[in-house]
Chain A
Amino acid sequence: MRTYLFFLSFLFFVAPELTLSSTIDFSRTLYVGAHGEDVRELQRFLNIDTETVVAETGAGSHGNETNYFGNATKRALIKFQEKYRTEVLAPVGLTFGTGVLGEKTRHKINKLLKSTQSEITAKIKIEPELSIAKGEVILMFPSQYSGRPGTMIALSGAGFTATDNTIYFGNNYTVTKASSWNGQSITFKVPNIPKGIYSLVVKNARGDSNKGTFFIVTDGITPEPQIDSVLPEISTRGGAVVIKGSGFLHNGNIIQYGAGVIKNVSSVDGISLSFSIPQDILNATTTAFTKKIHLPIGAVVINENGVSNVKSYILEI
């Protein structure tokens, strides 16, 4: 169980695909048998909190949410209702959750989604827990790397203060008075700032965080880059790699290819990108490998319109 909880928590952290629509407003009564995108959004919402996940693996789990309200969704919703019993159940004279997304439950969820300070008491743990020296603020990564203004995102790290964290988007834009309930996570809405790629820094009374992570503010209209294939499937040092997909810009594409980052890659046609894997990548300092090994790595394309999916391929050394 501990292992499953750990995987759930680290998948939450490292899978930058947790996206909640900032404009979703649950308006229907949902129950077992219901279909729709609001069901999918409900599952995504429930999966934020480790205490109310729909499923740990398979359909309904984080990243695999569906548009069908089944018994797993019902059970997760019951847990949510009982967690917020005083606001959801008590007002209508109930003690136990019903598993029906009725008025009181909808109101609570919509209230949480609209809140600028996180009320989501998700138990997200980094194992092992970081022991932070006084005066140190560590910024690790966001819950998602792109989104339009108003999107609720979470930053993971350590050394965050309970209140008064200031999040810097580049040098010119900030989110002030951001709170952290556990010192390791800050949840806030993306500010209404121009579209673009922003480096992130967190500053509070303890000091300034490291740089190293980023966020792309999108317009919500222009499609984000998408990778369909990486060829060849097994690449080698010095070898040419072609990424096929869509949403690539004429200039300014960034490729993270699993063993490094290549900036300002051009795309002539918007659907392909080419680069070469450096000849000396991951080189041995002494002798060469006695036999070939295959490293599973992933390619990601980043530009001002967002972040692509991760496409796996093999680097042969």
Chain B
Amino acid sequence: MIVTFFVVKIKTSSAILGFGGVVQSFVACTESANYAIFIAGRPTSGYFMWEPTTINHTYGSQQLFSSGAWALGTYTPVGVCVISVEPPVTLEPITGTMIRVGTSLAPI
């Protein structure tokens, strides 16, 4: 009996990075059931995914979906936003998926 083991080294994007900036707009990713939130900041601006099924902690004033609120948090540099299947439309580029996020109050 020959048993062959295949050891496969999988490199995962497990880096946890920080982001910060002002919440500007949202895209509803109806087919992937999540939201892409555009956060304008430096050095990283872009679409950050909000996922309802991942461990997602929202702190502070919890105004993540209010334009003008400031958001700070951590993310992993992977994410997908599927807007439609037929025709296939995905939002790109996605900067990452939020892990934890805290927000300020929105402007009044």
Which residues of A are interface residues toward B (Cβ below 8 A)? Answer: 3, 6-7, 10-11, 13-16, 126-128, 130-132, 140-141, 145, 197, 211-214, 254, 256, 258-261, 263, 282-291, 293-298, 300, 302, 307, 310, 312, 315, 317
Residues of B near A282 (CB, < 8 A) are 26, 28, 35, 65
Give the CA-CA distance A206 to B86 in the complex, in Å.
Answer: 50
Q: How far is the CA of A8 from the CA of B19 in the complex (A)?
A: 14
14 chain-A/chain-B pairs, Cβ below 8 angstroms? A13-B70, A14-B60, A14-B61, A16-B61, A258-B63, A259-B66, A260-B66, A261-B66, A261-B107, A282-B26, A282-B35, A287-B31, A294-B52, A310-B60
Asked if B49 is at the interface of the complex by the 8 Å CB criterion, the answer is no
Q: Which of B65, B72, B100 contacts A259 (CB 8 A)?
A: B65
A211: shortest Cβ distance to chain B, in Å? 7
Which residues of the other chain, A, contact B66 by a CB distance below 8 angstroms? Answer: 256, 258-261
Task: Tell whether, in the assembled complex, residue A310 and residue B52 are in contact, meaning their CB atoms are under 8 Å apart.
Answer: no
Assess the B70–A14 pair: CB atoms within 8 A: yes
Contact A212 to B107, CB < 8 A, known contacts A131-B42, A258-B62, A296-B58: yes
Beyond A128-B44, A290-B31, A293-B33, whether A302 also contacts B58 by CB under 8 A is no
Q: Whole-angstrom distance from the CB of A85 to the nearest CB of chain B?
A: 32
- Interchain nearest-CB distance for A227 vs B (Å): 12
Chain A residues lying within 8 Å of B34, measured Cβ to Cβ, are 293
Please tell me if the beta carbons of B107 and A10 are within 8 angstroms of each other in the complex: no
Whole-angstrom distance between the alpha carbons of A126 and B104 in the complex? 14
A71 CB, min distance to chain B CBs, angstroms: 27
Bound CA–CA A284/B28 (angstroms): 5
Contact A16 B102 (CB under 8 A): no
Which residues of B are at the interface with A, using a C-beta cutoff of 8 A? 16, 18-20, 22, 26-28, 30-31, 33-35, 41-44, 50, 52, 56, 58-66, 68, 70, 72-74, 83-84, 89, 100, 102-108
Check A297/B65 contact, CB under 8 A, given A3-B74, A13-B102: yes
Which residue among B19, B56, B72 has the maximum number of chain A CB atoms within 10 Å of its CB? B72
Of all chain A residues, which has the CB nearest B17? Answer: A128
Q: How many A-B residue pairs have CB under 8 A?
A: 149
- B63 near A256 with CB under 8 A, answer yes
Q: Is the CB of B107 within 8 A of A213?
A: yes
Contact of A3 among B16, B35, B68, B104 (CB under 8 A): B16
**Which residues of A sit under 8 angstroms from B41, Cβ to Cβ?**
128, 130
Contact of A284 among B19, B30, B56, B72 (CB under 8 A): B30
* Known contacts A128-B20, A287-B84: A298-B63 contact under CB 8 Å: yes
Q: Which residue on B lies nearest to A299, using beta carbons?
A: B62
Residues of chain B with a CB closer than 8 A to A127's CB = 18, 20, 72
Which residues of the other chain, B, contact A258 by a CB distance below 8 angstroms?
Answer: 62-66
The winner among B52, B65, B74 for most chain A CB atoms within 10 A is: B65
Q: Which 5 residue pairs of A and B lie closest in terms of their CB atoms, listed nearest first?
A: A298-B62, A14-B60, A284-B28, A14-B102, A127-B18
